[in-house]
Chain A
Amino acid sequence: MRKRIVVLLIVLITVSLSAFAGAQAEADKGYDLYIYNSKGENAAQFAEMAKAYEAETGVRVRTFSIGSGQDHMETLRAEMNSRNKPSIFSIQGVKELIEWYQGGFVVDFNSITDASFKALANNISPSLRLTNDGKTSFGVPYNVEGYGYIVDRQMIADLFGGASVDAFIADAKIATYAEWEALVKALDAYIKRNVQATVKLNGKAYVLATAKTGLAKNLNGVFAVMGAEKWTYGDHFINVAVNAVFANPNAAANATDADVEQLRGAFLAYAKALDLKTSYLAGLRGAATRGQDFVSSANFGYDQAVQIFADNKAVFFKQGNWAYGNIAGVNAAQAERLEFLPVKMPFESADIKVAGLTVAKLNSSIPVFVPNYYAINNQVPAAEQKLAMDFLVWLNTSATGKKYIVEEFNFIPYNADPATTTLPNSLGNSILDYIKAGTIIAAPYHGAPATWSGDVVGLRLMERYLTKPNWTAQDYKDIVDYAVQNWQSLN
């Protein structure tokens, strides 16, 4: 009897082991080109695109996609240590570049002789290049992204009358901070106490409707804000202020302590603008205020803020074009009516250190930047590097490749001609409008020390200030000091 059990166990083990062998044969190298994609949201479409490429060229592509959450670097490092290294991998900006540069994993496009790839590399606009010193170029952009205050055109129509929507949006884009602040306060009084007022934008008057109609009836605050997501105010909101001093990530990355000192004026404006934004909050269940509840991810996390905006409870929602899918998931009709307004801050002329930039220009522009690049792995054989180049050329120049970028990934192509391109989503088109008008700024915060924006400044704001109902002049000063000193000490 016992012998039989032992025999049975041995048989079971053998069967399981051969099952493993089968599982492994599947994972064996059955591809020519391995692409590591860290934009996991489009994993399915990405794999489809690889199939389309194989159908056209016969090159077998293996894709591996992982979410842009916290573990993508860890996994990529494991892949880089393994015997089957990816030929193409993703790099999310200058911060991640240093590691791959030091380790000798990236190919400088200047050293490439392949003609068609060289043409592609040369066509990347200098402001969009992935570089550590301004001369090198290590990546082909995935796409461009941008952010600002998202506004629903129908909401504007219900608040200010249907005829004035286009004019309102055009004037709001170039309005001064003082006008913006007055608008926010007037909207708040209107929402909470039905105070009907006239506001001025770009000097022109706009009158609030006498009685709340349509979507305006749902409002309970001015802004939908994700207080629990420190990257929204730590990374993206503060980036607008960083633009006053550094024109691009490289300038920020190479900044001296004295350069960082220059940010004080801009950061003061940032603190005030953040104070305004977080003083007129909409919530899931009625108007909200700063406090413990505001940093709870159960009530003011990403999903909740999207929900607040999509339920028409707030007028403005500071987010990027990537939020299109989330909004469409909750309120598909609203997703078709969206536009961006620029994030405005009370800058003084003296705060601006970038040559040629003015307060008016800064306050009427939205940040447009490259979130992710394709890099070619220097540690794979030359033949695989060649395959990688061919693929990148195909993706960005062929009709099929472009179709996937625009229609399947819902991306704004980095090489799109804004004059002729129309995208299938409202927020993407709004960004193209800004590119067309030339009112764009960059993402120099990418050049700040690795953890500075989110885990240091963002976290401090979340823990200390977003939980505090009233901010004093001393608080503004402390925020500025903290941001400046930590940038310097982390350098």
Chain B
Amino acid sequence: MDFYKKWFWPLLLPSILLFGFVILFPFVVGVLNSFLAWRGTYYFDPETGIRATNLFASFIGFDNYANAFTDERFIRALVYTVQYTLVAVVVVNLVGLGLALLVTRARRGAGLFRTVFFLPNMLGGLALGFIWQFIFQIVFTDILFSPEGLMHIPFLRYMTQDSTKALFALVILNAWQYSGYMMIIYIAGLNNISRDYYEAASIDGATPLRTFRSITVPMLMPSFTVVFFLTLSNSFKLLDQNIALTDGEFNTRLLAMQILRTVKDTAPPDYGKAQAQAVIFFILVASITLTQVYVTKKRELEL
């Protein structure tokens, strides 16, 4: 025991230093900045109308938070993010699970399909966002779903030009990009389920649907926990695709972009307000993911 004890601090020091320098210290400074009239390159003094000579002169209490909550754009981004997350979590999960079930059914070529479905995940969001913008604006709008096209579906045209449609456009893009990843996790979960259960069910004459509900779903609970955690936090923090697809136009800003753009909405740039929004964002992300992990873990245990 003593052998490990004397090495505890020396060996942990690099992690603690790195953590302190990169995460903890900037985070604390960030929270402090959310109480100051911070302008990015200087601290503003509301009294003099120019650069503050000391930090206390720039202290404005909870003004940045109050400003954030009275900012129409912030509230809209908040609501939009919640809506997007709800749809995205459901869709990405269903598609991921569906793909996993299909791929595990296929005897030949399963590896090939798995590779193809996973591939988009390896590629960066910004670059692919540009390509998808091109697809929504040209392929969907002018070719596939136009009145002269394959099928006339007005909802699938001009998807980047309306906040509701753009939400689904983002979901389509992210389902395309992340379903393969979730599929991998579900496949592993499915492979972990012992064949014996299915045999027993089959002997009892259970319908496939019944088998799925009574065996597959409960046994996949650990996979659900992981996939929910990943999709939830990914959707909540989504940024690159949002920028590339609509750039926030037509009221399509998600929270991460709203924080980035706050400094562009204001002149001089209100970094203090952006920082306050980021702190609110942190509290939201933390409480939602923790609740989710708690709830699904609890369900896992109950089963």
Residues in chain A within 8 A of chain B (CB atoms): 70, 73-74, 77, 80-81, 95-96, 98-99, 101-105, 292-293, 295-299, 449-451, 455, 459, 462-463, 467
Contact in complex: A98, B161 (CB < 8 Å): no
Question: What is the chain B residue whose CB lies nearest that of A71?
Answer: B264
Contacts of A459 in B (CB 8 A): 249
Given A296-B137, A298-B137: A99 in contact with B269 (beta carbons within 8 A): yes
Task: Tell me, yes or no, whether B74 is within 8 Å of chain A by CB.
Answer: no
Known: A299-B142, A459-B249. 11 other contacts (CB 8 A): A74-B263, A99-B268, A102-B49, A102-B50, A103-B50, A104-B42, A105-B41, A450-B266, A450-B267, A455-B265, A467-B161
Contacts of B249 in A (CB 8 A): 459, 462-463
Contact in complex: A298, B250 (CB < 8 Å): no
Task: Tell me, yes or no, whether B113 is within 8 Å of chain A by CB.
Answer: no
Nearest Cβ on chain A to B127's Cβ, whole angstroms: 16
Contact in complex: B250, A463 (CB < 8 Å): yes
Contact in complex: A292, B161 (CB < 8 Å): yes
Task: Tell me, yes or no, whether B141 is within 8 Å of chain A by CB.
Answer: yes
Nearest Cβ on chain A to B163's Cβ, whole angstroms: 9
Partner of A104, one of B50, B133, B157, B158: B50
Question: What is the chain B residue whose CB lies nearest that of A105?
Answer: B41
Interface string of B115-156 (1 = CB under 8 A from A): 000000000000000000110011001100000000000000
Contacts of B50 in A (CB 8 A): 101-104
Task: Tell me, yes or no, whether B39 is within 8 Å of chain A by CB.
Answer: yes
Task: Tell me, yes or no, whether B61 is within 8 Å of chain A by CB.
Answer: no
Interface string of B250-276 (1 = CB under 8 A from A): 100000000000011111110000000
Contacts of A299 in B (CB 8 A): 137, 142
Contact in complex: B141, A296 (CB < 8 Å): yes
Contacts of B41 in A (CB 8 A): 77, 80-81, 99, 103, 105
Contact in complex: A99, B39 (CB < 8 Å): yes
Tell me, in angstroms, the Cα distance from A102 to B295 when the chains sit together.
50
Contact in complex: A77, B40 (CB < 8 Å): yes
Task: Tell me, yes or no, whether B51 is within 8 Å of chain A by CB.
Answer: yes
Top 3 A-B pairs, shortest CB-CB distance: A298-B137, A450-B267, A99-B268
Contacts of B157 in A (CB 8 A): 292
Tell me, in angstroms, the Cα distance from A463 to B163 when the chains sit together.
10
Tell me, in angstroms, the Cα distance from A451 to B264 when the chains sit together.
8
Contact in complex: B161, A295 (CB < 8 Å): yes
Given A81-B41, A292-B157, A292-B158: A95 in contact with B265 (beta carbons within 8 A): no
Contacts of B158 in A (CB 8 A): 292-293, 296
Tell me, in angstroms, the Cα distance from A105 to B40 when the chains sit together.
13
Contact in complex: B267, A98 (CB < 8 Å): yes
Task: Tell me, yes or no, whether B35 is within 8 Å of chain A by CB.
Answer: no
Task: Tell me, yes or no, whether B224 is within 8 Å of chain A by CB.
Answer: no
Contacts of A103 in B (CB 8 A): 39, 41-42, 50-51, 268
Contact in complex: A102, B161 (CB < 8 Å): no
Listed by A's residue number, 18 A-B pairs whose Cβ atoms lie within 8 Å are A77-B269, A80-B41, A96-B267, A99-B40, A99-B41, A99-B267, A102-B42, A102-B44, A103-B39, A103-B42, A103-B51, A105-B41, A293-B141, A297-B133, A449-B267, A450-B265, A462-B249, A463-B250
Contacts of B266 in A (CB 8 A): 450
Partner of B161, one of A95, A296, A449: A296
**Among the interface residues A101, A296, A299, A455, which one has the most CB atoms of the partner chain B within 10 A?**
A296
Contacts of B141 in A (CB 8 A): 293, 296, 298
- Give the interface residue-count category, chain B: 20 to 34
Residues in chain B within 8 A of chain A (CB atoms): 39-42, 44, 49-51, 133-134, 137-138, 141-142, 157-158, 160-161, 249-250, 263-269
Nearest Cβ on chain B to A91's Cβ, whole angstroms: 12
Contacts of B160 in A (CB 8 A): 296
Nearest Cβ on chain A to B251's Cβ, whole angstroms: 8
Contact in complex: A95, B267 (CB < 8 Å): yes
Given A77-B40, A102-B50: A451 in contact with B134 (beta carbons within 8 A): no
Contacts of B51 in A (CB 8 A): 102-104
Contacts of A99 in B (CB 8 A): 39-41, 267-269
Question: What is the chain B residue whose CB lies nearest that of A80?
Answer: B41
Nearest Cβ on chain B to A372's Cβ, whole angstroms: 16
Nearest Cβ on chain A to B292's Cβ, whole angstroms: 33
Contact in complex: A98, B137 (CB < 8 Å): no
Contacts of B42 in A (CB 8 A): 102-104
Nearest Cβ on chain A to B40's Cβ, whole angstroms: 5
Contacts of B133 in A (CB 8 A): 297
Tell me, in angstroms, the Cα distance from A80 to B268 when the chains sit together.
15
Question: What is the chain B residue whose CB lies nearest that of A459?
Answer: B249
Tell me, in angstroms, the Cα distance from A73 to B265 when the chains sit together.
12
Tell me, in angstroms, the Cα distance from A80 to B40 when the chains sit together.
9
Contacts of A101 in B (CB 8 A): 50
Tell me, in angstroms, the Cα distance from A292 to B147 when the chains sit together.
14
Contacts of B269 in A (CB 8 A): 73, 77, 99
Contacts of B49 in A (CB 8 A): 102
Tell me, in angstroms, the Cα distance from A299 to B142 when the chains sit together.
10
Nearest Cβ on chain B to A253's Cβ, whole angstroms: 11
Question: What is the chain A residue whose CB lies nearest that of B157?
Answer: A292
Contact in complex: A102, B268 (CB < 8 Å): yes
**Among the interface residues A74, A298, A467, which one has the most CB atoms of the partner chain B within 10 A?**
A298
Contact in complex: B39, A102 (CB < 8 Å): yes
Tell me, in angstroms, the Cα distance from A74 to B40 when the chains sit together.
9
Question: What is the chain B residue whose CB lies nearest that of A455?
Answer: B265
Nearest Cβ on chain A to B249's Cβ, whole angstroms: 7
Question: What is the chain A residue whose CB lies nearest that of B141?
Answer: A296
Contact in complex: A297, B44 (CB < 8 Å): no
Contacts of B39 in A (CB 8 A): 99, 102-103
Nearest Cβ on chain B to A304's Cβ, whole angstroms: 11
Contact in complex: B267, A297 (CB < 8 Å): no
Tell me, in angstroms, the Cα distance from A99 to B43 when the chains sit together.
11
Question: What is the chain B residue whose CB lies nearest that of A451?
Answer: B265
Partner of A70, one of B44, B161, B264: B264
**Among the interface residues A73, A81, A102, A299, which one has the most CB atoms of the partner chain B within 10 A?**
A102
Tell me, in angstroms, the Cα distance from A102 to B51 when the chains sit together.
6
Contacts of A293 in B (CB 8 A): 141, 158
Question: What is the chain B residue whose CB lies nearest that of A450?
Answer: B267
Question: What is the chain A residue whose CB lies nearest that of B243?
Answer: A70
**Among the interface residues A96, A103, A292, A459, which one has the most CB atoms of the partner chain B within 10 A?**
A103
Question: What is the chain A residue whose CB lies nearest that of B49?
Answer: A102
Nearest Cβ on chain B to A380's Cβ, whole angstroms: 14
Tell me, in angstroms, the Cα distance from A98 to B44 when the chains sit together.
12
Tell me, in angstroms, the Cα distance from A318 to B98 when the chains sit together.
51
Question: What is the chain B residue whose CB lies nearest that of A292?
Answer: B158
Partner of B268, one of A70, A98, A297, A463: A98
Nearest Cβ on chain B to A393's Cβ, whole angstroms: 27
Tell me, in angstroms, the Cα distance from A463 to B166 when the chains sit together.
13
Tell me, in angstroms, the Cα distance from A232 to B264 when the chains sit together.
19
Contacts of B134 in A (CB 8 A): 298
Contacts of A104 in B (CB 8 A): 42, 50-51
Nearest Cβ on chain A to B130's Cβ, whole angstroms: 11
Contacts of A98 in B (CB 8 A): 267-268
Tell me, in angstroms, the Cα distance from A77 to B49 when the chains sit together.
19
Nearest Cβ on chain A to B141's Cβ, whole angstroms: 7
